[in-house]
Amino acid sequence: KNEVEQSPQNLTAQEGEFITINCSYSVGISALHWLQQHPGGGIVSLFMLSSGKKKHGRLIATINIQEKHSSLHITASHPRDSAVYICAVNRNTDKLIFGTGTRLQVFP
Amino acid sequence: GAGVSQSPRYKVAKRGQDVALRCDPISGHVSLFWYQQALGQGPEFLTYFQNEAQLDKSGLPSDRFFAERPEGSVSTLKIQRTQQEDSAVYLCASSPHRVLRYNEQFFGPGTRLTVL
């Protein structure tokens, strides 16, 4: 069993829909990251959080430490949001442990 | 400013060949990480440097893999006697000096290695 699990693995949406991607982890963590990877492209950091909630534009990330769960929400989704979204954690070290990613496709 | 750069972007090697992958981190970034990403999977940790010191190499899959960062800036990941299972995208990331406990990592575009 992976230490970091994401759901769903694949997600399709119509433009304008509200999207939620979930991340669960089985170990104690120091920080959790949400990352975005476009096809053939590099990885961009969206959020790093260790408690509560963060918002940047149409993106919102929340974390519940007690339940070992985080969610990434996208409001008013757009085709340019189509990408792979990856959850990753720090476990008292600097290296990241990654989930397998959620592939999102938003259709116009 | 310039982000993390990696070269080459694509590398095709014959099985048994040695390869060297280069990473230029963001100037001034203390920490440098190498990750391996197989097709359809999330990245997996290979090794980590703080300046020139290799602090963690627990993710290197075999002794055919070697990484260095001799002057605390550019890093090279070398794979000797490549095997087909080494085919993957190799990602480099850097992060700034640790004021906070953990820092955002900045990723390069990756090097896609295909071993025939």
Q: Which amino acid is at B7?
A: S
Mean pLDDT: which of A22-31, A87-96, B81-90 is highest?
Answer: B81-90
Instruction: Name which of A14, A11, A16 is nearest A107 in CA terms.
Output: A14
State which residue of chain A sits closest to B96, comparing Cα positions.
A94
Residue located via tokens 């534009």? A57
State the CB neighbour count (10 A cutoff) for residue B3. Answer: 14
CB pairs under 8 A between A and B: 64
Instruction: Tell me the pLDDT band of B99, cut-offs 50, 70 and 90.
Output: low
Q: How far is CA A62 from the centre of its chain?
A: 10
User: Per-residue b/e over B36-58, b at no fewer than 16 CB within 10 Å?
Assistant: bbeeeebbbbbbbbbeeebebee
Q: Does A49 touch chain B (CB under 8 A)?
A: no
Q: Taking CB atoms and an 8 Å cutoff, what residues of chain A touch B91?
A: 42-43
State which residue of chain B sits closest to A38, comparing Cα positions.
B109
Question: CA distances (Å), A1 to each of A4, A26, A35, B102, in order?
Answer: 9, 9, 21, 25
Instruction: Tell me the pLDDT band of B96, cut-offs 50, 70 and 90.
Output: confident
DSSP code at position B98: -
pLDDT for A39 equals: 81
- Please indicate whether, in this complex, the C-beta atoms of B41 and A86 are within 8 angstroms of each other: no
Instruction: Tell me the pLDDT band of A1, cut-offs 50, 70 and 90.
Output: low
State the CB neighbour count (10 A cutoff) for residue B62. Answer: 11
Residue located via tokens 């290799």? B54
- Please indicate whether, in this complex, the C-beta atoms of B101 and A41 are within 8 angstroms of each other: no
pLDDT in tens, A23-42: 999 888 889 999 999 887 78
Q: Does B45 touch chain A (CB under 8 A)?
A: yes
pLDDT in tens, B50-80: 999 999 999 999 999 999 999 999 999 999 9
Q: Is the pLDDT of residue B101 over 70?
A: no
**In the predicted model, what is the mean pLDDT of chain A?**
93
Instruction: Tell me the pLDDT band of A2, cut-offs 50, 70 and 90.
Output: confident
pLDDT for B103 equals: 78
pLDDT in tens, B15-57: 999 999 999 999 999 999 999 999 888 999 999 999 999 999 9
Q: Which amino acid is at A33?
A: H
- Please indicate whether, in this complex, the C-beta atoms of B110 and A48 are within 8 angstroms of each other: no
Torsion of CA B38, A33, B102, B112, to 10 degrees: 20
Task: Give the SS3 label for residue A14.
Answer: strand
pLDDT for B100 equals: 60
- Contact assessment for residue B91 and residue B34, using Cβ atoms and an 8 Å cutoff: yes
- B10-13/B111-115 β-pairing: parallel
What is the least distance, in Å, from the CA of A37 to any CA of chain B? 10
- Please indicate whether, in this complex, the C-beta atoms of B102 and A86 are within 8 angstroms of each other: no
Structure tokens at B8: 């080459």
Q: Taking CB atoms and an 8 Å cutoff, what residues of chain B touch A92?
A: none
pLDDT for A27 equals: 81
